[in-house]
């Protein structure tokens, strides 16, 4: 028990020393400000925003979630009935393809006017 307490104390000490060093060595410049999406945060918040940024984000999230849902399909192949696996996989992929087709028809993938 004493050994665990000593290890915990050592880890806590090392973590605190590293945080202290990072604070002391970091270059703090108060004149600069964060710069996101090409906008200056100190300017007016009412300037027009291009929807292309939003559409890229939404499409990225959709395809990212799709990939996260497709990954478990592969290892499950060995554990379940082949016909059931095939039907579920085809059904899921068809939903994704229909969604992509809908985005294409709505001109969401067309980046130029």
d(CA 68, CA 55): 20
pLDDT value, residue 99: 83
- Residue 11: what pLDDT? 95
Evaluate whether residue 2 is within a structural domain: no
Does 5 fall in a domain? no
Is 61 among the domain residues? yes
Q: What is the pLDDT of residues 28-49, one digit of tens each?
A: 655 555 555 656 666 666 667 6
Q: Is 34 part of any domain?
A: no
Q: pLDDT averaged over the chain?
A: 80
Q: Which residue has the higher pLDDT, 34 or 17?
A: 17
What confidence score (pLDDT) does residue 8 get?
94
Does residue 83 fall inside a structural domain? yes
Q: Does residue 73 fall inside a structural domain? A: yes
Number of domains in the chain: 1
Range of the domain at 75: 51-106
CB–CB of 108/55 below 8 Å? yes
DSSP string, 44-112: -TTS---HHHHHHHHHHHHHHHHHHHHTTHHHHTTTS-HHHHHHHHHHHHHHHHHHHHHHHHTTTT---
Please state the pTM of the whole predicted model: 0.47
């Amino acid at each position: 028990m004493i050994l665990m307490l000593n290890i915990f104390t050592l880890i806590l000490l090392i973590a605190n020393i590293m945080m202290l060093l990072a604070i002391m060595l970091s270059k703090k410049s108060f004149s600069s400000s964060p710069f996101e999406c090409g906008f200056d945060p100190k300017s007016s918040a009412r300037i027009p925003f291009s929807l292309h940024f939003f559409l890229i984000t939404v499409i990225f999230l959709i395809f990212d979630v799709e990939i996260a849902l497709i990954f478990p399909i592969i290892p499950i192949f060995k554990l379940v009935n082949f016909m059931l696996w095939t039907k579920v996989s085809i059904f899921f992929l068809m939903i994704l393809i229909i969604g992509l087709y809908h985005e294409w028809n709505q001109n969401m993938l067309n980046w130029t006017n």
